[in-house]
Amino acid sequence: MKTAVALAAGMALFFAPLADAKDGLLFDRGTARVGERMTLTTSWMNHPAGVIVYFMPLAVSPKWWPTYQAYAPARGRPPALKSAVRVGHVERWRTTGGRLEFLVPRVTPGRYVLGFWCQPCDTHWTSALPNFQPDPRGILMVRP
């Protein structure tokens, strides 16, 4: 009985964050320069018109999406970080997807991620965290 309860609790913890964090985009390449146009798309988003996107250094991403949140988005408004540059909001793309087009902001060279704030669901997260095994497509290396 205890094993079944533990297994059910573990499954709930595993699947709940996945269902909650469906809105997001990944980079379509690994590197870019300041001023280059980025067009990111995804075929499915839960809130394709209510997600505001920010561009920030990978090193500050835990301040946006705290590491203790694991894979679940953080609740509430995101913190105001000077290094987080608002690049736009996700637009509806095709039937169920989302699209974001922006120019790489004037930033110092380094590794950057996208920060997301879902206004309808009042959550925020990033495309990668430095202390997890990040998806390489969640990080963009900005070159000089």
Per-residue model confidence (pLDDT) at position 6: 44
- Number of domains, the chain: 1
- The pLDDT confidence band at residue 1, using thresholds 50, 70 and 90, is low
CATH number at residue 86: 2.60.40.10
- The pLDDT confidence band at residue 66, using thresholds 50, 70 and 90, is confident
- The pLDDT confidence band at residue 26, using thresholds 50, 70 and 90, is very high
pLDDT digits (tens, 9 = 90+) for 39-57: 999 998 888 778 999 999 9
- Mean of pLDDT values over 8-37: 67
Per-residue model confidence (pLDDT) at position 68: 72
| CA-only gyration radius of the chain, Å | 16
Q: Which domain holds residue 115?
A: 2-143
pLDDT digits (tens, 9 = 90+) for 108-133: 999 999 999 999 999 999 998 877 76
- The pLDDT confidence band at residue 98, using thresholds 50, 70 and 90, is very high
Q: Is the pLDDT of residue 69 over 90?
A: no
